[in-house]
Structure 1
Amino acid sequence: MAQDLFETHYFWKTAPVEAFSAFVKTEDYLKLSRRTTSREKEDETSRPLRDSSAQVYIHMFSRFARWMARENLDVFSITAAHLRAFLEYRESEEGKPPRALTSSIRVRYLRMLERVFAHLQLQPNPARHAAFDVYRTPAAGRDKPKAVLSPAQHAEFMRALPSAPPLVEEDMDNPSWKRRRDRAMLAMMLGAGLKVSEVIGIRTASVGVMDTTGSIPVTITPRSVGGSAKHHETQLRPFAAREVTAWIAERKMRNIPGELLFPASLQGGLLNKATVYRYVKETLARAGIDVHRKGGRTLRNSFAVRELESGGSVELVGQFLGHKKRKSTEKYLLQKPGTTLPD
C-alpha cells in the first residue's frame, strides 16, 4: 500500500501500526526528532533511521496499539491521562511474567509518541504533558539530588530578593545600588535560567528588547563565559523582567565603565562566583525554602521545568539552556517542581 495512504487520519485511526510503520521510515519522522537552530542549514539531511532501529520503534508502537485497542481508544482520542495509564500497564509477552516499564523505556515511549502526535498536529501534545507525571527512582548511594522550586516557591523567592530602596538621583553615592544590582541578577537567574558563570559575565548588549508578551531575549556568548559555553539565546520571563530593566536603566545613569551588566563595583570588574552562590543561599533562606542544593543550579533547574510545563518543547528549552544534547533537557521531563532528581 502506498506510503502516502497512511498519512490520512483514516488509516492512523483504523490501522495505526501500519501507519506508524510507514511514518517511522520517513524524513518527517527524523525532522521531528532533529534539533534545528538558525545556524543550521535548512536543507540539511539526517542519516536514515537504521532498519533495526525502525523495527524496535514499530515493536514499541505495536504494544501501544494493542493497549489502545484494549481500551477502545485511537490516536486521536488519547489524552495525557491515557498515556500515564499506558506507561503503568504491564503486558505479558511469550509467557513471561508482566514487568513494569523502566524509566528509560518510558522516556523512549514518550519521545516516540510525541513525534507521532506532533506529526498529526494534535494540540496540546498529550505525550509532552504526560511526561511531567513520570518519575525516575533515584539509584541508592549515587548522585546527589537536584532541586527544583515549586510555583509557590518561585513567588516566595522573588519576594525574598534583597531589600533595596528605590533609586534617587540626588543620592547616587548610596551603597544600596549593590542590592538593586543583586535583585536584578538573582531575578535573571530564575527568570532566564542562567548559570552563575553566565550571569556574572553577561554583557549589557546581550539583553534585547522586550517583546509583546513581556519577555526579553538574552544572548549568551562564549566570550561572556570565557569560551566555555556555546552561543545561545534564552528568554527572560515577565515576572523577572522589571528588576532587570530597572537595573539596566540605573547602570546607564551611573555610567559604569565596561560592558558587564552586573559589575562588582562602580568601576566595573567581575563578580566572584562564590559571592553569587552566597546571595542565592541567603535569598532561599529568607524565603524559607529548604532545598538540598542552595546554589544557582536550583534556579536554573526551576527555569527549565517551568518552561517545559508551560508548553515549551524539549528542543526549545534545550536551546534556552544551551544544551548540546537532547537528553540533557529530557531529564527535566521526569522532574516535578518541589522535588529532587539525580543529576
Structure 2
Amino acid sequence: METANSTHTGSHAIKRQGPQQSHNHPLRKDFFDSLSYWLDSPSLAYSSWLSEQKLKDSTKTVYMAMFGRFCQWLNEQGRRLDQLEADDIRRFLDSANPNLPQSRKARTNSGRQRQQYVRQLEKVFAHLSSLGHSGTNPGRIAGYERIGTGSDKPTRFLNREETQRVIQLIQTELDELRQEEKSTDEWLKYRDIAMIGVMIGGGLKVSHIRRLTLNCMDMVEERIDLSQPGHAHRARLLAFAVPAVKAWLSVQEQMHGRKLEPTQKIFEADRSSGFGRNSKTVTLSASSIHRRTQRFLAMAGITGERASAQTLRNTYAGLLIDGGATDDHLVDYLGLQASVTAQRLRNAYARSQLRPAGGAHLSKDH
C-alpha cells in the first residue's frame, strides 16, 4: 500500500488549470472589474463591483466587512479565488473571527451569516464566470451541500446496512445491463452507475467528477490519480467499484469509435443535445450530479440529508478505515491537506459507530 509520501512519476493527471482569459468581452468602464484584479486583489475588486449593486449603503458596509474577513482568511491559506472549493468555504465558516475582541474570538459565524457568505460567494463566482473564469462555482456547490444552513452540520456516514444496499444496487444495476446486452443505448445508466462507484468506492467529490479525464484513470493499478504538484491524491478504487468503472469506460470508448483523447472527460454530459459537436467537451453540472446521486440513493432507500455526494465520500473513508488504512493512506487516497484532517475524520467515524443506525454523527470536518 502506498503512502502519501511515496514518489510518483508521470503526468497523467490533469493539473489545476489557471483561469482562461477571455478576449471576447467588451471593455468595461470599471478598470478594477477584471479577472486578474479579482484574483490578485479580490477585496478591491469586490468593493468596486459591490458599489454598482442596488443595495442599501448599510448592507454594502456589512458585505464589505464580511468579504474583507474572507479575503484575510484566503490570504492566510495562501489561496486565490480560482483555487477555492466548497470544502474551503466550510472550513472558513467554521473558523473563528480573528478581528473580534479577545473575549469573543472563539465565536463562529451564526446561521444567518453562513447563509449570507454562501449566497455572496455564489454571486461572486457567477460574476467571475462572466469575466472568463472557467472553473466551477464553489458557492453554488456549497449551497447544494447545505454548507450555509444553520449551525455546523455533523459528518454523515452511511451505516453498514445502507452501505451494503448501495454496493448491492451498483452490482445489480450493472448485471441487469449486461444480461440485457445493452451498451451504448443505455450509456447514461452505465455512466451514472460508475459515477456512484467513484464516490462511494473512490471518495471523489463533485468537483473531482466534473474535471476527471481519461488520463487520470489507471485501471491496471485500479486507482484514480488527481495529484497536483506537492499534493498527492491517488484514490484507490475499492473492489466493488472497479467493474462499474471499467464497464463505463468500455461503453464510452464504443460511443466514440475507440478514438478518445487523453483529455476526454470521463463523465460527459447528455449527448441528446449536440452530441458529436458540443457535448463531447461538456461535463455534467454540479446540480445534475447531485440530482443523479440523490435519485440513485433513493433507489437504495436512502433519502434526506444523508443522500449526498459528501456522505458517499465520508463512507468511502469509513470503508478504508475498516480495511486498516493508516492516516497516511487517508491523506493520499482522499487527497487531504494534512494528517490532522485524517485523524478528525477517523475520530468522527469511530464515534458514528457508537450511535444507533441512522443517528447523527459528530464532526465538523467533512
- TM-score of the aligned structures, taking structure 1 as reference length: 0.52
Q: Select the residue among 315, 334, 337 that pairs with 1:321.
A: 334
Q: What is aligned with 2:244?
A: 243
Q: What is aligned with 1:254?
A: 255
1:309 correspondence with 2:326: no
Q: What is aligned with 1:285?
A: 298
CA contact (8 A) 2:293 2:309 kept: yes
Q: CA deviation at 1:142?
A: 4.2
Q: Distance in 2 between matches of 1:321 and 1:274?
A: 22
Q: Select the residue among 344, 348, 366 that pairs with 1:331.
A: 344
Deviations, residues 140-185 of structure 1 (Å, cap 9, x unaligned) = x8411121012321221133459575369997763x2101110111
1:188 correspondence with 2:198: yes
Q: Percent identity?
A: 22
Q: Residues 291, 145 of structure 1: CA spacing in aligned structure 2 closer, same or farther, 3 A cutoff?
A: farther
Deviations, residues 230-256 of structure 1 (Å, cap 9, x unaligned) = 452111111111111011111111117
1:276 correspondence with 2:281: no
Q: Select the residue among 219, 233, 249 that pairs with 1:209.
A: 219
Q: What is aligned with 2:155?
A: 146
Q: Residues 168, 308 of structure 1: CA spacing in aligned structure 2 closer, same or farther, 3 A cutoff?
A: closer
Q: Distance in 1 between matches of 2:182 and 2:329?
A: 43
1:36 correspondence with 2:5: yes
> Aligned with 1:341: secondary structure?
coil
Q: Distance in 1 between matches of 2:162 and 2:270?
A: 30
CA contact (8 A) 2:216 2:224 kept: yes
Q: Distance in 2 between matches of 1:173 and 1:323?
A: 36
CA contact (8 A) 1:146 1:292 kept: no
CA contact (8 A) 1:308 1:333 kept: yes
CA contact (8 A) 1:220 1:233 kept: yes
Q: Distance in 2 between matches of 1:181 and 1:152?
A: 25
CA contact (8 A) 1:160 1:284 kept: no
Q: CA deviation at 1:191?
A: 0.3
* Structure 1 spans left out of the alignment, 5+ residues: 1-33, 41-140
Q: Distance in 1 between matches of 2:162 and 2:156?
A: 12
Q: Residues 242, 173 of structure 1: CA spacing in aligned structure 2 closer, same or farther, 3 A cutoff?
A: closer
Q: CA deviation at 1:291?
A: 5.5
Q: CA deviation at 1:282?
A: 1.6
CA contact (8 A) 1:307 1:317 kept: yes
> Aligned with 1:147: secondary structure?
coil
Q: Distance in 1 between matches of 2:241 and 2:266?
A: 15
1:341 correspondence with 2:362: yes
Amino acid at match of 1:250: V
- TM-score of the aligned structures, taking structure 2 as reference length: 0.49
CA contact (8 A) 1:277 1:296 kept: yes
CA contact (8 A) 1:234 1:321 kept: yes
Amino acid at match of 2:332: Q
Amino acid at match of 1:342: S
Q: Distance in 1 between matches of 2:8 and 2:169?
A: 39
Q: Residues 35, 284 of structure 1: CA spacing in aligned structure 2 closer, same or farther, 3 A cutoff?
A: closer
Amino acid at match of 2:223: P
CA contact (8 A) 1:281 1:295 kept: yes
Q: Residues 313, 178 of structure 1: CA spacing in aligned structure 2 closer, same or farther, 3 A cutoff?
A: same
CA contact (8 A) 2:187 2:252 kept: no
Amino acid at match of 1:166: L
Q: CA deviation at 1:285?
A: 1.8
Q: What is aligned with 1:263?
A: 268
Q: Distance in 2 between matches of 1:310 and 1:173?
A: 35
Q: Distance in 1 between matches of 2:361 and 2:304?
A: 9
